[in-house]
Chains A and B, each alone.
Chain A
């Protein structure tokens, strides 16, 4: 297990070095994270069944919480997801995270940037309240600039109103 953790870390460092945007893994956390280099048999480090992997965080813990229209209040489901994130982050202390706040397209550009900041901060504040050191968590808002769903109705809007916890490289000091 220790070896595989080190391998994950090594893969993380390599991914960082190869990435043009060095602070993040995967685009919007949707691409399944870093791939593990193959090992014979058993769990593949870095894959979704490695509980220390970014992919596991994204897929099994859940990297995002969703919000109601115009709201930045966490839902019970959102808090449950963040509980899982907080637990994962405390067990995987070498990761920092950037929490991305997003809005759906119903709103002006400026207001949605501010609304995205509120959503990201709501998730960050909750993670801090669950024991994640504040220094490991930054926030950014993309407003309505980065939708993941492109239809113009509530089915898509609901998925776009989100705060996504994007894992980043190791602590810097």
Chain B
């Protein structure tokens, strides 16, 4: 009990430099200050319980390993080092054999395929304590959805060892890009968090920009030039049906985001030279103006409880970040550093804002607290922009565009310590990611 309380306190106190500490004793990765030492794990091929399971056991183990390695918190003990294998899911674990290869965590699994259905079982062992961590879990689904089951296993492992919820069984909506820089074709697409299973949601006849998932992941808001002018649209991910939400003549609307209630949309509307923030009730179409300064107000994002909005405004001369009540009113400026701040996104944990910063000809993705303190830049490049949070608030995905004639947009992820920067593989150019929820 005392341990748990300490863990919670450390998690609260130490977000500024969360680092990884592999510990002897209880199997635990703690988010605390310390030296990075990825926790070594072993995941032998899942036991194929029948002939139809074929290579599935191997594929699942590889996927679980890739998820865990991708966090930067774990490293895999290669199968070539194994002393004993796991050929029976229910057999006793030979802890000494795993200890000898320095695997602190052991993940075992079994898979049974019947027609287009499959079940996956797994267990997690704390090798040094010589005990199972948590109880075994079983997932059932279709063989086509095998990756989701692998992600669920990895989420359970991550969650049991870190004490945080996982993010592997999640999807990302983004803009898929093809064509030359001066003739870029863009269409909406959705993929698994790791870039697998890309599905296209729109054609590329019109420019589409900045899709944003609803909290439940069932719908996407985005900006499209389909009507000839930029307008905000809502798209149902299941049916791919879309409709324009706002089409006031002589205006442009863009930068939409859902309120956590899924009914209210906050967005920017440009009328003449002025851009302000509005809300729209998705059912009634009723709009409400929240800001009325002559400056540019854009990129609004709700707090997780929906009571506040963080946005960017150039009312001070250059774009900076501000927080106001969800019903409008006088905003409070929160960014004061040198440079230009944009695209603020409130963390799902509520503790941080991720943003794009432009300074001295470079772009950065950064995070700061809601009072503007403890600003930390996580990346630097010719052009990084548009952060989105993993559902657990520990990882950020964003767009990185390379420079020049052959410039191309790609997605990257980085954790909130600024470590573990890595590209997300997509079949074509990709921009404007929005990370959806952990799936059920």
Contact = CB atoms under 8 A, between A and B. Distances in A.
Contact of A108 (B229, B342, B403): B342
B335 to A, nearest CB: 14
Interface stretch (B15-23, B124-132, B142-150, B381-389): B381-389
A107 B401 CA distance: 12
B182 A148 contact: yes
Interface residues of A, number: 33
A141 B270 CA distance: 9
A96 to B, nearest CB: 13
A72 B342 CA distance: 19
A122 interface: yes
B250 interface: yes
B207 A145 contact: yes
A115 interface: yes
Interface string A95-134: 0000000000111111101110110011011000000000
Contacts of B184: 145
Given A117-B273, A118-B273, A110 B299 contact: yes
Interface string A132-154: 00000011111001111111100
A23 interface: yes
Contacts of A107: 340, 342, 358
Q: How large is the interface on B (under 10, 10 to 19, 20 to 34, 35 or more residues)?
A: 35 or more
Contacts of B379: none
Nearest to B270: A117
Contact of A145 (B209, B228, B361, B382): B209
B351 to A, nearest CB: 23
B407 A150 contact: yes
Contacts of B296: 111, 114-115, 118
B385 A117 contact: no
Q: Which 9 A-B pairs have the closest CB atoms?
A: A152-B403, A121-B273, A114-B275, A108-B342, A117-B270, A114-B296, A150-B181, A118-B273, A110-B255
5 contacts: A110-B210, A110-B299, A111-B319, A114-B275, A140-B252
